[in-house]
Structure 1
Amino acid sequence: MLDYRKMYFQLAAKVADAMDILLKAQQEGESEFMNEEPVPGLKVLAIKDEDHDPE
């Protein structure tokens, strides 16, 4: 009989590893972007979240 509990935990561990890899890649990309020289004509815009109630 298959050990579904073991298989589940192996899958969960691999998913956590993948999430860590993606998060690190995102952080490195953001850091690289922030450390570069500004591009002429590039503007950073704040986006209002209309669905969020500030209260």
Structure 2
Amino acid sequence: MMDYKIMYFKLAAKVADALDILLKAQQEGETQFMDEEPASGLKVITIKDESPDSE
């Protein structure tokens, strides 16, 4: 029977690797999005919060 601790640490290392890959992909996507020219015809609008507890 394999030592469960070894199996657990191998799994934890692979999960950490997967998270690193996902975070890097997200950061690259965000950078690419921010570096692109803004699409024409888009406007930024603000929405006023009218809830009574927002004061």
- TM-score, with normalisation over the residues of structure 2? 0.73
Q: Secondary structure at the match of 1:39?
A: coil
Separation of aligned partners in 2, 1:29 and 1:4: 37
Structure 2 gaps of 5+ residues are 47-55
Give the structure 1 partner of residue 25 of structure 2: 25
Give the structure 2 partner of residue 8 of structure 1: 8
Separation of aligned partners in 1, 2:34 and 2:12: 33
- Structure holding more helix per residue: 2
**Aligned residue pairs: how many?**
46
Instruction: Tell me how large the CA RMSD over aligned residues is.
Output: 1.8
Residues 28 and 9 of structure 1: CA distance in aligned 2, closer, same or farther (over 3 Å): same
